[in-house]
A and B are shown apart, each in its own frame.
Chain A
Amino acid sequence: MSNRLLVAKFAAHLAYLLNDGQDCVEINAFALFHKLNQTLSQAGEDQANSYLYGLVGFGSLPGDFEPEELAQKYFDFVLKRPLRLARSNPFHKGHELFEALCRRGLAAGWADAELVRSLDQTADLPEAGHFPTDFPGVLERLNEIDRHISKGNPAHTTRAQQGPIFLKAGSAAAEVPEELSVWGGIWCAPAKLVKLSQGRAFDAFCSLVIKAVEAANAPYGAFLRAGLSPFDWSEELSTNTVKAIAAFRREIDGQHDLETWRAVWQRRKVPGFASADIFWASDVGRALRNRAVVQRVELDDNMPDPGGFDGELLTGEEFKRCIKARLEDRTLNDFDAWFLNRLAEGAAIGDLAEAPETVERFGGRPSGRELEGYVNDLYERMLTAAHEAKAFAEDSAKIIPITQAGDQTSFKDAEHGL
């Protein structure tokens, strides 16, 4: 069963936690960390589809880690990973999440908050002015974030041309770090938030959290696909090299003998190594061969969607029109169309599981695992059809369906914030 949606599901889980409250939402960073750590460390009955195995890589990484230890390492590597700008974008997804959370601030004055780049603006907290009462707390937390800008980060140029990033709310302004992580964005934002209503408002927020978490998770996912530990190799290998290793590893298909490596090398070279023999004898080559022995869970056929393509949330009407068009071209069947329409109307999966249409489709009330399998396969079919319809331009193709042979990791440089 495909688990393409695992990253997005985890991100949606985070989005729900960031909207959890009666009348308003109060973010307690440590309680949130604890809940996420527990979520990530649960193995469940369906191991390959659990966050622990499918996302965190428990059972696939070397090292004698306990589930909660590894979940914490994943948290540090992914959610605390400073994101970087991509191309000419002035902000990355970490910034956008931070801005969205600020706009949800409960105190008066947050609704119009915005991030701007400016060469003229200065950080300002006037003694007498109109700004949210908890702005000083946000400023204090922002000032605790490391302002380092990594070598090669396009932010160097963007900053020189357009100026630093400022959070503006009323008459106050605070400088925002260029390399902000998903967790940094959450931690710096106002602690008391407006609760979003279910439907369009929450979906838009959830869409943003999914994009931010996908961007943050991309390098970690690439390492898992390559069969290498991100904790051991992230300092030495670029994401592009890791992607090339993942493609090479896929083609050798567990055949760890030098002849196979040489044959595959003709089609799949790994940058930084002059020949198959040199790659074979290198530290990373040895690690790959050793991984064949210690790896207990094979992730290649179950890897989550790398994400990162630049889709936007459709309106309800547009979504229904797309469903109709996909029903006509047989991408979707009648049940798929009914299921998606009902979800778009706000139905819960638990309710849909009991509906006569579902009972008829599954020949009885489906188990949670059956339903999750159906949802993943539905998404997989949609991705495949989108790919066949050339929805993803060749030079920016970030998704290749897992049903198609070849490199699955051709998403854009995951080190960027996308």
Chain B
Amino acid sequence: MGFDPDSAKAWRDFVHTAKVLLASALARHEMARHAVMKTEAAGSAPVRVFEFELLAAASRLEMRFEGGEVLARGGGLKAVIAELDGELNVKLQLLGYSTLKQAAGREARLVSDNGAIDYAFRFSKTGAATCVLANTAEVKQGLGHFTVQIFD
């Protein structure tokens, strides 16, 4: 039997095929746009950098994170790092009116000195963010000394 474009099956297949093509085209377009934005962001300098140094944790051979608060050098941002279900959760909160005004709602990156972490995220309008990282030895070591960079 030949293909009948008016049959119920052809209608269903037509709608499905259109869905695949349209969704795929939108996703491809969106990914291309984000790639351009990422390239542009990578080329720009951060407007503010917060530096974290976890000396106590870094001094241990096997670093452990038990959910204590850590303040950035000079203040303005606190971090709570916890190991959770095989992941490392870094919860960040901007502190103080001037810091919130400068950084809330903005793009940011968490970057470690050892190169193991380069995590892009955005602070919420209330100045909070959560970074979910792989729980590996390199990432743990990276959390011994890292920066949070805010972009305009």
Q: How large is the interface on B (under 10, 10 to 19, 20 to 34, 35 or more residues)?
A: 35 or more
Which one of B56-64, B120-128, B142-150 is at the interface?
Answer: B120-128
Query: B30–A9 contact, CB under 8 A?
Result: yes
In the bound complex, residues from chain A placing their C-beta under 8 Å from that of B32 are 348, 350
Q: Decide if the interface of chain B is mainly helix, strand, loop or mixed.
A: helix
Complex Cα distance, B86 from A30, in Å, reads 11
Q: How far is the CA of A34 from the CA of B13 in the complex (A)?
A: 34
Interface-forming stretch among A132-140, A186-194, A308-316? A308-316
Which A-B residue pairs are the 4 nearest by beta carbons?
A311-B16, A391-B11, A8-B23, A12-B27
Among A33-69, those with CB < 8 Å from B are: 33-34, 37-38, 41-43, 66-69
Residues in A whose Cβ lies below 8 Å from that of B21: 203, 340, 343-344
Most buried by A among B3, B11, B31, B132: B11
Q: List 10 A-B contacts (CB under 8 A).
A: A9-B23, A12-B20, A43-B122, A202-B24, A206-B24, A314-B17, A343-B25, A348-B29, A348-B32, A375-B26
Nearest neighbor of B139 in chain A, beta-carbon distance: A30
- Whether A348 and B23, one on each chain, are in contact in the complex, defined by CB atoms closer than 8 angstroms, is no
Asked whether A326 and B29 contact (CB < 8 A) given A67-B124, A69-B130, A206-B24, the answer is: no
Of B24, B128, B130, the residue contacting A203 (CB under 8 A) is: B24
Q: Is the CB of B22 within 8 A of A378?
A: yes
Residue of chain B at shortest CB distance from A202: B24
Contact among A202, A383, A393 with B8 in the assembled complex (CB-CB below 8 Å): A393
Question: Quick one: which of B23, B91, B132 contacts A11, CB cutoff 8 A?
Answer: B23
In the bound complex, how far is the Cα of B6 from the Cα of A12, in angstroms?
28
Give A382 to B14 CA distance when docked, in angstroms: 9
In this complex, what residue of B is CB-closest to A352? B25
Segment touching B, from A105-113, A227-235, A317-325, A405-413: A317-325
